[in-house]
Amino acid sequence: MQKTILHTLRIPIIQAPMAGGVSTPRLAATVSNAGGLGFLAGGYKTAEEMRKEIIAVREMTSAPFGVNVFVPGAQSSDEKALSSYQKELRKEAERLGVPLGDCQWDDDDWEAKLVVLYNEKIPVVSFTFGCPSADIIARLKANGSFVIVTVTSTEEAIIAAQAGAEALCVQGEEAGAHRAVFRNAKDADQHIGLFTLLQQIRTIVDLPLIGAGGIMTGRDLAAVLAAGACAAQLGTAFLRCSESGAHPVHKAALVDPQFSETVVTRAFTGRPARGLVNRFLAKYDAMAPAAYPQVHHMTKSLRKAAAEQNDPHTMALWAGRGYRLAKEMPAAELLSLLMEEAREAVREAMGRVDKL
């Protein structure tokens, strides 16, 4: 396998792109400056907002960084289920004193974002929720970008490899927030754990793999590298960092004993995503239709009002399975700690292997 930009990172840690204001330019630049790979999240922003964040990162670092974009899906949905969900959510909107958002489909400014990616010549570009066409990937590569596609199954890994992806971000079921799933019957996610999925994909695709999902400690990092990944992508572990833009109510919920479980739900956005179980999730999980991004747009005003009103029970508290291990510290310190723990874990494991 050829050496890639991922193999040249001083620290084999990728800070996950986290849409919704979490992965700020400061967080991405801090991680890249420290020797990892920082990422901006292009999702939910306009192309122009995404461009401004790219400029902001470039003002803070000359090291490589990444930009992540959502691939738009099909425009189909069950209108009847959507309108009955809308009716239910109106009660929440009344309670919070805000209008319910419009139930619209959009492509998240896809074409305009591609133009920004081409013009700005981004070192690393990653995609989630789908696999772009071979033409788009070829154009980005010819433009000097290293292209990653996020996958959740062997089927998706094959599609991404055939389209020309240069690396795969392998997202295990442990992962926080949205599942990247794009090719499973009726959007029924297979929920495969990271270590199983890495082994399954390694045997069929000869591409560098990035492991994502539930990686919180240096021991996890060492394990994922030993499992064949060339780097680990961590989201939840960065949520409580000083540079993270996660809402303070979200940060607090991660250590609040009243939130003791995560599940994958469509309740907030119409797309499967892992979050802490709160009142809203428990109440609407079974009711929410598979309609992304319509449900996302519908609940946006509710989630925003809830955050302003300090109400964690109506917010989307995205979190991976390992959320309890998220530490409150500057991102550069977290990277050093993870590396120190990983080295110690490897030393210990080598001691055991030598005895075999």
Residue numbers at the binding site for ligand FMN (CB under 6 A): 16-19, 22, 41, 43, 68, 128, 150, 171, 174-177, 212-215, 233-237, 318, 320, 322
CA distance readout (Å), 201 to 2, 172, 205: 18, 12, 6
Q: Amino acid letter at 112?
A: A
Q: Let me know: does 232 contact 12? Beta carbons within 8 Å.
A: yes
By beta-carbon proximity to ligand FMN, the closer residue of 153 and 236 is: 236
**Residue with the two structure tokens 């598979």:** 290
d(CA 306, CA 314): 6
d(CA 127, CA 123): 14
Bridge partners, residue 231, by sequence: 210
d(CA 148, CA 287): 34
Q: Let me know: does 64 contact 5? Beta carbons within 8 Å.
A: yes
By beta-carbon proximity to ligand FMN, the closer residue of 63 and 215 is: 215
By beta-carbon proximity to ligand FMN, the closer residue of 293 and 322 is: 322
d(CA 214, CA 234): 8
By beta-carbon proximity to ligand FMN, the closer residue of 82 and 179 is: 179
Q: Least separation, in Å, of the C-beta of 131 and ligand FMN?
A: 13
d(CA 152, CA 183): 9
Q: Least separation, in Å, of the C-beta of 18 and ligand FMN?
A: 3
SS3 state at 147 = strand
Q: Least separation, in Å, of the C-beta of 39 and ligand FMN?
A: 8
By beta-carbon proximity to ligand FMN, the closer residue of 25 and 214 is: 214
How does DSSP assign 271-294, residue by residue?
S-EEEE--HHHHHHTTT--S-TTH
Q: What is the CA radius of gyration of the chain?
A: 20
Q: Least separation, in Å, of the C-beta of 81 and ligand FMN?
A: 25
Name the percent of the chain in helix, strand, coil, to the closest 5. Answer: 45, 15, 45
By beta-carbon proximity to ligand FMN, the closer residue of 82 and 303 is: 303
By beta-carbon proximity to ligand FMN, the closer residue of 140 and 234 is: 234
By beta-carbon proximity to ligand FMN, the closer residue of 92 and 108 is: 108
Q: Least separation, in Å, of the C-beta of 127 and ligand FMN?
A: 8
Q: Least separation, in Å, of the C-beta of 68 and ligand FMN?
A: 5
d(CA 93, CA 84): 15
d(CA 121, CA 139): 11
> Is the backbone of residue 85 left (phi > 0), alpha (psi -120 to 50) or beta?
alpha
Q: Least separation, in Å, of the C-beta of 83 and ligand FMN?
A: 28
Give the count of beta carbons closer than 10 Å to the beta carbon of residue 315: 26
By beta-carbon proximity to ligand FMN, the closer residue of 19 and 122 is: 19
Q: Least separation, in Å, of the C-beta of 116 and ligand FMN?
A: 16
Q: Least separation, in Å, of the C-beta of 251 and ligand FMN?
A: 11
